[in-house]
Amino acid sequence: MSQSTNLIVRLAPVIFVLLWATGFPAAKFGTSDAEPFTFLGLRFAIALFLLSVLVLLFIRPKQIVWKQFGHSIVVGVLMHGLYLGGVFYAVSKGMPAGVSALIVALQPFFTALIAWFVLGERLSLFRAIFFVTALLGVFLVLFPDFDIAKAIPGITAETFTAGLIATLGISIGSVYQKRCVPNLNLWVGTAAQFLGAGFFMLVLSFLTESQHVVWTLSTVLSLAWLVCVLSIGAVALLMYLIKKGDTSSVASLFFLVPVVAFAMTWALFGETMNTIQITGSFIVVTSVAISSRFG
């Protein structure tokens, strides 16, 4: 491996965290003038079109493993449909964008357990302890008064359930991707995922929404960023990291996303944290750093 390639591999997790974190403030921007499922349906449709052009230009049909293509459609429903649908719905209903990132920070816990049962990946006691410690940090951010009955504004049964559905979706999707789609071409697989997620969002949109979109500058810029930078760039990077590393190590990256997302939402929307919440964030970062380095 050349020195430049080695540097890219080392920086890939950092780049992924930075890019992935931008999705949460972008969700707040996007859902301010559009219904969440309709907005996501547009996002997936545009991303699918762009990727389909690349696939048609550079990939031969005989190179496509069609059975894995079908599995990738299922991955799309889980990793994009349920995950992003849950996040965008929660944000549209008033959950702070930074807090939605913290709910999804539960993902490594679910992913590690699922990978343990399904893939047989080793779950050491050391890593499990720090997963629990990180969950404690998440709790402090969500409930700084140490009272489950006194959650921060925007945390309701509805938004919290949506966040948990999102967490389960991406957790199961990560394991399913590792197990059932081992060697499908990256762009073909991602296009299949957007096909599944787009159809899923289309169904939810027509069942629950009016498909109304106000085309403001914020809507257009949010859609462009989410399609080009996240749906293509960050998702491709996530698929690469899942393919190259074990599933629970990749999941550990998501512990870092809430802290970065909180910094972004503080700068953009004025979302703030008190001393207890800052302490909780520090616990999360420290836990993932130790578990990733020594777990």
pLDDT classification of 82: cutoffs 50, 70, 90: very high
Entry pTM: 0.83
Task: Please state the rounded mean pLDDT for residues 65-72.
Answer: 84
Q: Does residue 166 register a pLDDT over 60?
A: yes
CA distance 156 to 93: 9
Instruction: Report CA torsion sign: 21, 205, 164, 92.
Output: positive
What are the DSSP calls for 164-201, one per residue?
HHHHHHHHHHHHHHHHH-SSS-HHHHHHHHHHHHHHHH
pLDDT tens digits for 215-227?
988 889 999 999 9
For 263, residues 6+ apart whose C-beta sits below 8 A from its C-beta are: none
